[in-house]
Amino acid sequence: MKSLFKTQPLKRKLLALLMIISCSVLLLATVGFAASDWISSRGDLYDRMRYQGNLIGNNSLAALTFGDRAAARQTLSTLSSEDNVVAAALYDHAGQRFAAYRKGPLALPATPPAQATGEHEGALYIVQPIVHDHETIGQIMILSELSNWQQQQVQRMSVVLGLFLVSVLVASILSDVAQGVVTGPILNLANTARRITKTRNYQLRAEKLSRDEIGELADDFNEMLHQIQSRDEELRSIQAQLEEKVQERTAELEELTRQLEHQAFHDTLTGLANRATFDNNLMTAIHYAQRRGSQLAVMFLDLDRFKEVNDTLGHGVGDRLLVEMSTRLHNCLRQSDTLARLGGDEFAVLLMDADVDATAEVAHKLVQAIDHPAVIDGYNLQVTTSIGISLYPCDGTEASALLKNADTAMYHSKELGGNQFNFYVTEMNQRTERRMLLESKLRDALSKQAFTLCYQPKWNTQSLRIAGVEALIRWFDPEEGFISPAEFIPLAEDCGLIGEIDDWVARQACRDILSLYEGAEPELSLAVNLSPALFVNEDVYRRIAGTLEQTGFPAHKLELEVTETLVVSEVASVHEQLSKIRQLGVEIAIDDFGVAYSSLSRLKQLPLNTLKIDRSFIQDIGSDQDDEVIVRTIIDMAHNLNLKVVAEGVETEQQYQFVKRHHCNLVQGYLFSKPVPLAELARLLQQQSCSREPLASIPHR
Ligand SMILES: Nc1nc2c(ncn2[C@@H]2O[C@H](COP(=O)(O)O[C@H]3[C@@H](O)[C@H](n4cnc5c(=O)[nH]c(N)nc54)O[C@@H]3COP(=O)(O)O)[C@@H](O)[C@H]2O)c(=O)[nH]1
């Protein structure tokens, strides 16, 4: 019952409660009223009977006193007019019935009952004494019919019940209205809550239908909705931000994945395919060519002089130069070809369906594309490329063999002076082997100090006397014979031995020249070559200072020949080291000047003493007017910058006369003397000191 009640809607519960309460109250009131009415109407009846008893008693005093039964009966018969009285009896002082009156068949008791009131044979009775002069002379008993009274009571009860039912009806209507008044606002709240739950629309508000506690509840409910709405909006905005962040992160991740994928297959600097991609493409191409019976060409490219640029101008310039060169190479190729950067300044090209002629044509285009200056960070940089080519299937059927053979052919191109391409031929392998052999011999020679020095004099064009010498290294191998520095110096630079070699040359040359003057200050100036690679380690100053200290050679008689690319480098440490070396008193000469397109402004900033015009310009004097103009311009420019000028590689009288005519300070070349051993130099100097004639005019050449 309790649980059933719990499951009922509030409306019904409230209605039921109100009905229970109102019905209970009405019932109690009705029952109370009926009971009281019953009691009071019975009391009224008794009162009436007592009154009738008193009246009849008083009227019967004489009859009792005189024993006049007829008079007594006469008096009792007056009760016939009383509707309620059904019987009456008079008893004498002895309690014996004296006279009686009856309307119906009711039997009267012979003696009066002991109780003053009560019921006798379904009728109400009263018994009361008849007193005269304080003496009881008899008793009277009056019996009143109950059926009339009961009928009246039933009628009254019917009215009361009718009233009760009407009241219940009215109570139920009023309860219904009351529950509506109470539950209406609550249901309104509940409906609003339900709609919000369904629609998730937190902008909805509950209507305030009353100003009581439920009205306050509606206010609180609306306030709560307001807070939920604000929080909801806040959450939505956070969610939107989060979604935006997630989208951004997803995009970033996708981009990163794309970049990683790209990096896995491409070279980061140039964006070209990397080695892995090239190997992969090459293997696929080999399978394809195998099935179709077609040819493939693999090219191995290396940039000549790139190392020098990279070492001297810095990696930033080097990187940009590589990017420029890769663009040029790319522009020469078809979509179906693969161009990859294998690392450093090495590139590889894969040509599909390529025969010898077509490959040679492409290789030629590639060489040409690289062979013109590139302006990088204001420098006019000239590099060239050496290309080696191997063909599938004649030079190999495996990817590794094809690449190795192309690499060998590339070294061959380099050995031939670079700026060219060569197809692989089996004999080239011997050269690679030789290079490896040479490297091992070089290490051995260095440890055994198996090098010697030659000195090539430099003549003063005015006095025609030897003003200085350039120390040049010589290597005689017992098996190989004479090995040119042009071959082993680049090898020493490649395998990191150049520092030791140049240190040895500088120390030995200083000692040699000092020995010519038996400890006195040499009249000659001594020039030694310094590889640009040494400047990368930033310890050239320490090396030179160490050499001067160890040998005691006067600093102002020592000259360092460095490459043009190095001195035009804007790498701060190079400038700094050259300045410190200059502060020692050592002079600085730019070797092979004219090939690296130095700017005038840059030359002005540098601590230089001498420009050595590159042999290539001197050799074309008499045959190339442009080169003559260049030589003249270099001499004029050097003089304007207060620099001495040396013309190197002077081989003919015409060349000599030309440079002399344009006031070149010094000349060096086979016209006057080849590099000679120290003893021969000593003889020349001896000859010069004994002769009054200028030595260079002596026809010994
Ligand atoms: N870092 C070092 N480099 C060195 C050292 N010794 C030499 N070298 C460099 O090796 C290159 C080849 O040198 P080498 O074979 O000694 O040739 C020199 C001369 O013999 C040659 N020369 C001189 N006059 C003439 C000439 O009239 N005609 C002609 N064909 N050749 C001539 O030139 C070379 C000297 O050139 P340069 O140094 O530019 O003045 C060469 O690059 C050397 O620099 C060394 O100890 N360390």
What CA dihedral angle connects 670, 671, 673 and 674, to 10 degrees?
10
Phi, psi of 169 (to 5 degrees): -60, -50
**Residue 529 C-alpha to ligand 1 middle, in angstroms?**
9
Predicted confidence at residue 498, as pLDDT, reads 92
pLDDT at 548 over 90: yes
Q: Pick from 170-184, 598-612, 616-630 the range whose average pLDDT is largest.
A: 616-630
Range of lowest pLDDT (219-228, 439-448, 509-518): 219-228
Of 472, 502, 656, best ligand 1 pocket probe by most atoms within 8 Å of the beta carbon: 472
pLDDT at 400 over 90: yes
- Predicted confidence (pLDDT) per residue in 470-521, tens digit: 999 999 999 889 999 998 998 898 888 999 999 999 999 999 999 999 878 9
Cα separation values, 542 from 105, 217, 527, 560, 577, Å: 165, 92, 18, 14, 9
**Residue 592 C-alpha to ligand 1 middle, in angstroms?**
10
- Percent of all residues in the chain with a pLDDT value above 70, rounded to a whole number: 96
**Residue 698 C-alpha to ligand 1 middle, in angstroms?**
24
Kindly state the average pLDDT of the residues 596-610. 79
Predicted confidence at residue 700, as pLDDT, reads 42
Pocket lining: 112 vs ligand 1, CB cutoff 6 Å: no
pLDDT at 628 over 90: yes
Position 399 confidence tier, pLDDT thresholds 50, 70, 90: very high
- Predicted confidence (pLDDT) per residue in 43-78, tens digit: 888 898 999 899 999 999 889 888 899 999 999 999
Pocket lining: 670 vs ligand 1, CB cutoff 6 Å: yes
**Residue 472 C-alpha to ligand 1 middle, in angstroms?**
6
Kindly state the average pLDDT of the residues 253-264. 86
Please identify, by atom number, the ligand 1 atom nearest to the C-alpha of residue 675: 20
Position 403 confidence tier, pLDDT thresholds 50, 70, 90: very high
Kindly state the average pLDDT of the residues 349-373. 94
User: For residue 109, is the peptide bond before it cis, meaning its omega torsion is within 30 degrees of 0?
Assistant: no
Nearest-CA residue for ligand 1 atom 31 is: 649
ipTM of the complex: 0.93
Position 701 confidence tier, pLDDT thresholds 50, 70, 90: very low
Cα separation values, 67 from 92, 609, 646, Å: 9, 189, 196
Kindly state the average pLDDT of the residues 390-404. 94
Predicted confidence at residue 699, as pLDDT, reads 41
pLDDT at 428 over 80: yes
In sequence order, the β-bridge partners of residue 589 are 561, 610
Buried-exposed string 267-290: b where 16+ CB fall within 10 A, e elsewhere: beebebbbeebbbebbeebbeebe
Predicted confidence at residue 165, as pLDDT, reads 87
Task: State the Cα–Cα distance between residues 52 and 55, nearest whole angstrom.
Answer: 5
Instruction: Return the H-helix or E-strand segment holding 681.
Output: helix 678-690
pLDDT at 343 over 70: yes
Q: How many CB atoms lie within 10 A of CB 304?
A: 20
Cα separation values, 241 from 227, 253, 572, 579, Å: 21, 18, 49, 59
- Predicted confidence (pLDDT) per residue in 557-571, tens digit: 999 999 887 776 666
Range of lowest pLDDT (184-188, 529-533, 540-544, 580-584): 184-188
pLDDT at 36 over 50: yes
Mean pLDDT of the chain: 89
**Residue 331 C-alpha to ligand 1 middle, in angstroms?**
37
Widest CA span in the chain: 219
Pocket lining: 503 vs ligand 1, CB cutoff 6 Å: no
Nearest-CA residue for ligand 1 atom 42 is: 486
**Residue 422 C-alpha to ligand 1 middle, in angstroms?**
26
Kindly state the average pLDDT of the residues 26-33. 86
Antiparallel, parallel or unpaired: β 558-563 and 587-593 = parallel
Q: Pick from 219-223, 249-253, 338-342 the range whose average pLDDT is largest.
A: 338-342
Give the residue with greater pLDDT, 125 vs 536. 125
